[in-house]
Chain A
Amino acid sequence: MVMEYIPGIPILRPYIDLDNQGFWDAVKQHKLVFQKCKDCGLFVHRPRPMCPRCLSTAKEWVPSEGKGKVYCWVNFVYANAAYPGIKVPYPVVVVELTEGVRMISNVHGVSQEEIYIGMPVEVVYDDVADDLTLPKFKKQEV
């Protein structure tokens, strides 16, 4: 199953600024990158102006393997507690990438009964609008 965005209701869009533009520009080109500190090597997500470990502002966008595991998940069932622009039920997951960072996303191609903590996943790209691509995940092929 794929997330079904309901036509006519605006998709909630990311707020893009100087600190996170690299992430969203890459996603638009179907690439997943994460901020990495040039001094201590720490991967950071969400992107931030300064490394939270060594306080360096020297950073670069490094390609991700795009692979990880489901760290946690929920399933939005009741429409009044969900986003009206997405058809319920829809699961939301926290994915822990091999680089050690986590991100919120959705899993395509599986039903909620099949999602479990620890499930291996890999990135796919969902072109939800002409000018907006979101990084989503699918079950990793073994």
Chain B
Amino acid sequence: MNNISNKAAIVGIGFSGFSKDSGKTELHMICECIKAALDDAGLVPPDIDGIVKHSDDATDEHSVTSSRGMGNLTYFGENRWNGAPCAMVLRAAIGVTTAAANYVVIYRAVNEASKRRMRGSSRNMAQLDTGDLLQWTYHAPFGLVSEAGRVAMIVRRYMHEYSINSDQFGWVTTVCREHGAKNPDGIFYGKPITMKDYLESRIIVDPIRELDCHEETDGAIALIITTAEKAEKLKQKPVYIRGATQSQVAGTEERKGFYRPAISDLPEMKHMGERLFAMAGVNPRDIKVAQLDDSFAPLVPMQLEELGFCDRGEGTAFCDGGNRIRVGGELPLNTSGGCLGEGHIYGVNHVLEAVRQIRGTSSAQVSDADLVLVASGAGGSTSGLILGGSR
């Protein structure tokens, strides 16, 4: 396959501490993160000539560029929706491999916990959801408004078709919090939970419990991408982009599809995985660690099935007891804690953690973590990466 595989690499990372109240503006946080990422890579601000951001981010490339003393940009743009994190890396890789830019920074900065709350008022909810007015038309008047509600709908059907009890999803959160408890930068450092905690947590949208849901977080992350050749001359061990793709299929709706023949699966994720493994020239059993979309815990077993780590309907059994998905198991998941155990930086923290795993600097390090899969945007517009320590 003629593609960008192995032609670009992540060379710098910078991140704020994750918290419930950053005490800073998003712009402040992201300026610090970009500085940290430049220092990490051994670059200076004028080296950056490309920026890829998230369309929901409160900051823009103009204010970021002028605040950071960067030079002239030749490449900039943004990605949308929950599937943006890996897609932003893809976009950056396209930029550097086509020589549209030399060094591209991607970033995400959110004050979701302290200021820009997504939930709790009709105004904010309308702002959040009107990105897809036509889908909104058939959901919102009936009260189907929150992401928890839309996820609950596909999860109910998944439970129905595969005879799954919602208690079984608790292992995902328990293991993510176990990993997050080891992560000094996360909001749940030193705070693991037990299955008993999970089972006692309140229902949010039946069948979704509170401990199935990501934790609202303040924080920011910046990553710098360049070509593989340039990467090999910089400070850090390059983290090569072995595979990168977005995925949308017939019937994909941004906020979960309810009109296609089945709603109990994630066809975008299946399509994404097939393409990703082909690009990277590897298969699921080669993957040492995976950072999956855990914005809601039940999405994790569904992704394990779609990505070929287990058979259809076997995802919850794979997670049962946690031994196969914790560090030391056959496929450790979300080793920073992910959105459930580290913080909700909308899945960009999953890309960050994949880099730390390959560098060998994770707080829950997996030995020989030379191939890491990242997935974002389960159930809607999806994207994914396979990152590697060699090419």
Contacts and interface: CB of A to CB of B under 8 A. Distances in A.
A29 interface: no
A92 B143 contact: yes
Given A72-B157, A86-B143, A105-B142, A20 B152 contact: no
A16 B136 CA distance: 11
A83 to B, nearest CB: 5
Contacts of A94: 153, 258, 263
Given A46-B134, A80-B120, A72 B153 contact: yes
| Contact-residue size bin, chain B (C-beta under 8 Å from the other chain) | 35 or more
A106 B141 CA distance: 10
A76 interface: yes
Contacts of A76: 143, 146, 149, 205
A134 B203 CA distance: 27
Contact of B136 (A11, A15, A71, A86): A15
A54 interface: no
| Contact-residue size bin, chain A (C-beta under 8 Å from the other chain) | 35 or more
B126 interface: yes
Contacts of A90: 143
Contacts of B144: 74, 92, 104
A71 to B, nearest CB: 8
Contacts of A52: 250
A75 B205 contact: yes
A10 interface: yes
Contacts of A81: 119, 146, 148-149, 204-205, 213
A104 B206 contact: no
A85 interface: yes
Given A52-B250, A72-B153, A83-B145, A77 B137 contact: no
A23 to B, nearest CB: 9
Contacts of A20: 134, 137
Contacts of A71: 157, 263
A13 B141 contact: yes
Interface string A10-33: 111111110010000000000000
A77 B208 CA distance: 10
B263 A72 contact: yes
Contact of A85 (B122, B134, B207): B122
Interface in A77-129: 77-78, 80-86, 90, 92, 94, 101-106, 112, 117, 128
Interface in B301-340: none
A12 B126 CA distance: 8
The 9 closest A-B pairs by CB, nearest first: A12-B140, A75-B206, A14-B137, A15-B133, A74-B152, A78-B204, A81-B146, A81-B148, A83-B145
Given A17-B134, A74-B208, 9 more contacts: A13-B141, A16-B137, A72-B153, A74-B144, A84-B122, A92-B149, A106-B142, A134-B141, A136-B142
15 contacts: A3-B143, A12-B141, A46-B137, A72-B156, A74-B152, A76-B149, A77-B206, A78-B202, A81-B146, A83-B125, A83-B143, A94-B263, A101-B259, A104-B139, A106-B143
Interface of A: 3, 9-17, 20, 45-46, 52, 71-78, 80-86, 90, 92, 94, 101-106, 112, 117, 128, 132, 134, 136
